[in-house]
Amino acid sequence: MRFMKKVACICVGAIALTGCSSSGESTDQSSDTLVIYSPNSEGLINATIPAFEEQFGINVELIQAGTGELFKKLESEKGSPVADVMFGGAYTQYASNEELFEPYVSTENENIVEEFQNQTGYSTPYTLDGSVLILNKDLTSDMNIQGYEDLLTEDLKGSIATADPANSSSAFAQLTNILLAKGGYEDEDAWNYVENLFNLIDGKIQSSSSNVYKSVADGEMAVGLSYEDPTVKLLNDQANVEVVYPDEGTVFLPASVAIIKGAQNEENAKKFIDFLLSQEIQDTLGTSTTNRPVRKNAAVSENMKSLDEINVITEDYDYVIEHRDEIVSKYSDIYVKTQSN
C-alpha cells in the first residue's frame, strides 16, 4: 500500500514541477500524484485508494482529520490549495462552502440513483447512510417493532437509546428523519410525536452515537435510534441485534466528494471521482464494507437491505440547512419540558 498520510509540495528553481503552483491555478500535466483530504474510516479508505493507485499508476498522498478540521483547512488555503480532493463529509458541509470547489459532474452521474445524482454541479455523492432502529433481540422478543409508532409504549420507557440531536450529527439526522416521516419539519403532530418519544427516553441521552448501538448490542438498552453503517457491521459480526428501517420512511444522507478549487492535479481528481462511482468500486463498497453504494443496482451484502425493499423518503436538504438552529431549539425546549414532567 503506497498511499501516505503526509504531503509536501516542492518547487525547485525556475522549474515548476507538476503539481506545484503559487497562483492556485491547476498545473496538471500528466501528473502521477493526487492529494486527498479525508475524514473517512480506514475501512473505506482501504477499499478505494489502493485500488485507484493500482489501476491508474497514481500515487495518492492522503491527509486524514475530522471533517470540520479539514473544511477549516480548505478555507485557510483558498488561493493556494494543498490538496486536490475532499473525500468525505455530508451534503450540508459542501452546500455551505460552494466557493471552495471546482465544478465537475462525473461521467458516471447518470448511473447513480436519481435522487442522489450530483445536483450541485460540484459535489458528488458516493455512499449513503440512513437512519435506522437497532433492536436487542432478547429485550424486544415479545414486541413487533416495525417503525417509529411502535416505540410509543410504556414497556420501552427508559430503554430507548439516543444521542443528543443538539450535539450529534447522526442524532440530528434521526430527528429530522422522524419529523419528515411523521408529517413534516413544521408539522404539529410530528413534534408531538417527538415529545412523546422523549418522554419515554426519560432523559437517558447517550454520550455519543457509538454508545447508542453499543448499549443495545450489550443488552443495556432495548432499542437505539442509530444509523445504518455501524448497525450493519454488528450484523456482520453476528451480534444479537436486528436492524429496522422504519415503515414510515428512512432518510438516506449522502457522503460527498469534490475537487478543490485550484487543484494542482485536477485531471487525476476527476479520474478519482469517476472511479469511486464505477460499477467495480460501488459493488466493492456494498459487499466488503458497510457503506451503502449510490450506484443503481450496485451489489450489497446480505445484511444490507436493498433500497427497493425500503420506504425511502427524501430530506429537504436546503430547508434543514437553513432551519437547523430552529429545529435544535425546538427539540431542546421539548427535552427540558420532558425532564420537568
pLDDT in tens, 143-193: 999 999 999 999 999 999 999 999 998 999 999 999 999 999 999 999 999
Structural domain boundaries enclosing 94: 33-128+254-304
Confidence of residue 22 (pLDDT cuts 50, 70, 90): very low
Residue 12, domain member (yes or no): no
List phi, psi (to 5°) of 248: -70, -15
> Are 229 and 182 in a shared domain?
yes
The one-letter code for the residue type at 30 is S
Mean pLDDT rounded to a whole number for the chain: 91
Predicted local confidence at residue 90, as pLDDT: 87
The one-letter code for the residue type at 250 is T
Spatial separation of the C-alpha atoms in residues 270 and 272, rounded to whole Å: 5
Tell me the torsion sign for CA atoms 285, 73, 171, 141.
positive
Residue 194, domain member (yes or no): yes
> Are 43 and 168 in a shared domain?
no
> Are 156 and 232 in a shared domain?
yes
> Are 145 and 237 in a shared domain?
yes
**Alpha carbon separation from 288 to 125, 210, 225, 232 (Å, rounded):** 19, 21, 25, 12
Residue 284, domain member (yes or no): yes
Q: Write down the residue that cell numbers 438516506 correspond to.
A: 252
Residue 271, domain member (yes or no): yes
Domain count along the chain: 2
Residue 283, domain member (yes or no): yes
Furthest CA-CA distance within the chain? 76
The one-letter code for the residue type at 20 is C
Q: Residue 278 pLDDT more than 80?
A: yes
Confidence of residue 24 (pLDDT cuts 50, 70, 90): very low
Confidence of residue 21 (pLDDT cuts 50, 70, 90): very low
Total-model pTM: 0.85
C-alpha cell at 114: 436519481
Confidence of residue 322 (pLDDT cuts 50, 70, 90): very high
> Are 224 and 186 in a shared domain?
yes
Rg (CA), the chain: 22
CATH classification at residue 327 = 3.40.190.10
Spatial separation of the C-alpha atoms in residues 102 and 100, rounded to whole Å: 7
β-bridge pairing 124-136 and 241-244: antiparallel
**Under 8 Å between Cβ of 276 and 126:** yes
> Are 108 and 97 in a shared domain?
yes
Average of pLDDT values for 309-318?
A: 94
> Are 332 and 193 in a shared domain?
yes
**Alpha carbon separation from 213 to 95, 222, 303 (Å, rounded):** 29, 10, 16
Residue 170, domain member (yes or no): yes
> Are 183 and 293 in a shared domain?
no
Residue 9, domain member (yes or no): no
| Nearest-5° Cα angle at 148, 335 to 339 | 15
Choose between 5 and 275: higher pLDDT. Answer: 275
Helix (H) or strand (E) holding 287: helix 279-288
3-state secondary structure of 158: coil
> Are 261 and 214 in a shared domain?
no
Show Cβ contacts of residue 333 under 8 Å, excluding neighbours closer than 6 positions. none
Q: Residue 259 pLDDT more than 50?
A: yes
> Are 201 and 216 in a shared domain?
yes
Instruction: Give residue 288's Cα distance to chain centre.
Output: 17
Residue 25, domain member (yes or no): no
> Are 144 and 230 in a shared domain?
yes
Q: Residue 84 pLDDT more than 60?
A: yes
Average of pLDDT values for 301-325?
A: 94
> Are 236 and 154 in a shared domain?
yes
